[in-house]
Amino acid sequence: MDLTFQLIEQITKSFSDDQNIGCGAYGEVYKGVHNGEEIAIKKLYNMQGIDDKEFTNEFRNLMKVKHPNIVRLIGYCYEIRHRHVEMNGELVFAKIIDRLLCFEYMEGGSLAKYISDESCGLDWPTRYKIIKGICEGLNHLHNGRSDYIYHLDLKPHNILLDKNMMPRIADFGMSRLLASSKTHITQTLKGTLGYMPPEFIDKRRITKKYDVFSVGVIILQVMAGAQGYNNCCEMSSPQQFIELVHENWKKRLQGMPMQENTYSIDILAVQRCIELAVRCVEADPVKRPSIMDVVDELNKLDADMKNISLPCQETSDSKDLELDPALELRFPFELNRDISCCMQLINKTNEFVAFNIRTNKMKYSARPNNGTMAPYSKIYITFTLLAQDKDPPYMRCQDMLIVQSTRLSMESGDEITDEFFEKAVASRVVDEVKLPIVYVV
């Protein structure tokens, strides 16, 4: 809609402070109601030399895109007025240009106010929804049209959330519409430090991987707090940071009430998302995935999480432990990458139970691989398939997961090790469950 300045002035109460809901590098944002709908009005500053470019960029690019994860443009105003002002003792007419863009109002505000570390703040399912929504919105900008829109200023302040915490990418003032995906060189350094990739800071190079780097920083902040990217850079290795974030989330998730199967789903998503984010912030843009690759991996993750949440097969009452999943252990196979998945052990007895986990091949690891469970308790085991340099011969390999368990007396002080179970076989009842290992390619 082409809205008049007079109408916008009226619905914002003359741009009163009460209606102001934010500000940015290029303008103030006000709240108003038009035709019964709450809208956000961005009023650009009168800054010499850049107003038209920023306004035109944002208007033109928002007119070209429609996607659930990109903020919806409702209307605009571009008016030129003349007002008499006093200058050097004389009255002169000054030209006043009003440039305004009107968007759907996002009740949740910007993502910036929700950034926190693993110990508090948003729950994991909400964070995952935000991560995936941002990636899908950016994928539409990069690949949803014959030309390419590079945002070039992705950051938490430019991600808005609706009342259901669904994210929408906003603020396209820096964006560029390009006819090809080739590298472009600019002479100016504009953007937000901390979200700019090294190749842009050092050489002013703009590629699709610019936005991917920014998304990687945002994901790290969503998962590990405002200092997520800095902490990642300070670690001795990316793997050390991945393990730290993974462990922190395990501690939080284990301390929360949850429905059955939720933990194993969430912890798999945490592992995969933090690994993906670290790849997105690689210093070498060639090593970063494209945003299409990122979305593909998240879609695969969704499929894997559905597999984990399949109803488990009931085990017989004679078994000390129930396994979930109880049919098979699935690894989403990928060359040259460590891949992890989770399994839940449930002690349904009124006694303490010792467990031991092993495989018939050396290419797997389990954490923890043995221990003791209290009566009526649960524990979650993370299995890792070490990086393989060749494809598996077929989906159902000959690999097998073996879970041993035996009941203990309360006063038992035995240390639970492989040797403990080797001796226990001769002196007590030891249950043994075998699960086939399956590769999902």
From the candidates 52, 117, 123, 153, give the one annotated as an active-site residue. 153
CB burial string 241-273: b at 16+ within 10 A, e below: bbebbbebbbebbeeeeeeebbbbbbbbbbbbb
For residue 65, the one-letter residue type is V
DSSP 96-126: EEEEEEEEE--TTEEGGGG---TTSSS-HHH
Q: Which of 308, 314, 401 is nearest to 355 (CA)?
A: 401
Phi then psi for residue 285, to 5 deg, are -60, -25
153: annotated active-site residue = yes
Neighbours of 104 (CB within 10 A): 17
Cα diameter, the chain: 107
- Calculated CA dihedral for residues 59, 61, 66, 67, nearest 10 degrees: -120
Give the Cα separation of 181 and 173 in Å (integer): 20
β 321-324/339-347 pair status: antiparallel
Give the Cα separation of 19 and 357 in Å (integer): 61
Q: Which residues contact 237 (CB under 8 A, 6 or more apart)?
A: none
SS3 call for 396 = strand
User: And the tokens for 65?
Assistant: 């895109």
**DSSP state at residue 424:** H
Query: How long is the chain?
Result: 441
Helix (H) or strand (E) holding 17: none
> Residue holding tokens 């850079």?
233
Neighbours of 306 (CB within 10 A): 10
- Burial (CB < 10 A; 0-12, 13-18, 19+), residue 149, is buried
Q: Which of 341, 208, 367 is nearest to 269 (CA)?
A: 341
Q: Is 163 annotated as a binding residue?
A: no
CB of 60 within 8 A of CB of 76? no
Task: Catalogue the active-site residues.
Answer: 153
Q: Which residue ranges make up the annotated binding site? A: 43
Q: Which residue ranges make up the annotated binding site for ATP? A: 43
